[in-house]
Structure 1
Amino acid sequence: MSQGIVRSLRQLLSEIRHISSEKKRQDSLLIKYIMMQFHKHKETDQQLCKAQEEMKFLASSYLCYLQSQRRYEAIYNQYHAKGERSVRETADMVGFKLPHDTK
């Protein structure tokens, strides 16, 4: 496998570890499936697989999706469903200073 594909695989597995509830990586059916697909589309000396490039594209697409989901959840938890906020908390959140602040 080329370095780009290995890097994509490692990043993808890292994102899956963030969302996985299982203790061991080897127990995850998702990780087993991904590894099986990467080995299935491995490039050999005798042939050049177009599926290899497709696998790289799919891996980068899934990686982008998982990273975006994790970032969305962090932003959502930070700014939503906190209930009523005071004027000071709201001003601090958006970066404004209140008139009586000495900042």
Structure 2
Amino acid sequence: MTATKVLRSLLHELRLASQSPGKIKDSLAARYILAQYKKYETTDQQLCKARDEAIFLGQTYLTYLSSLRKYNELYKEYHGSGERTVKETADLVGFKLPTDPK
């Protein structure tokens, strides 16, 4: 992944995690990430080990943010709020209950 793609993905994940969507410019985290990317910006003539480390760190944070978001979605969906009925449990795991002919 290139540095630009990692940066865009990080800002996208921050936007999803933000309580006020669409307003990440004022976010301290977004300003810090942008400052770090500007700090390690290099030209084609330079070979910079720190830039590769910065991309790796950005990918690590990106993985953390996306995993945390997915975990919270799964937790909300499957976390029990007390006892479930047999039908709710069957629907949760994808089974259908047999019907009694009367």
TM range (shorter): 0.7 to 0.9
Q: Give the aligned partner of residue 16 of structure 2.
A: 18
Q: Which runs of 4+ in 1 moved over 3 A?
A: none
- Identical aligned residues as a percent: 52
Alignment of 1:38-53 (within 5 A): 38-53=37-52
- Gapped regions of structure 2 (runs ≥ 5): none
What does residue 66 of structure 2 align with?
A: 67
Distance in 2 (alpha carbons) for counterparts of 1:39 and 1:58: 14
1:76-100 CA-to-partner distances (Å, cap 9, x unmatched) read 0111132211101100110112121
Q: How does 1:68-87 map to 2 (within 5 A)?
A: 68-87=67-86
> Number of paired residues?
99
Q: Which amino acid aligns with 1:17?
A: R
Query: How big is the alpha-carbon RMSD for the aligned residues of Structure 1 and Structure 2?
Result: 1.7
| Structure that is richer in helix per residue | 1
- In 2, Cα distance between the equivalents of 1:45 and 1:8? 18
**Structure 1, unaligned runs of 5 or more:** none
- Where 1:89 maps in the other structure, the secondary structure is helix
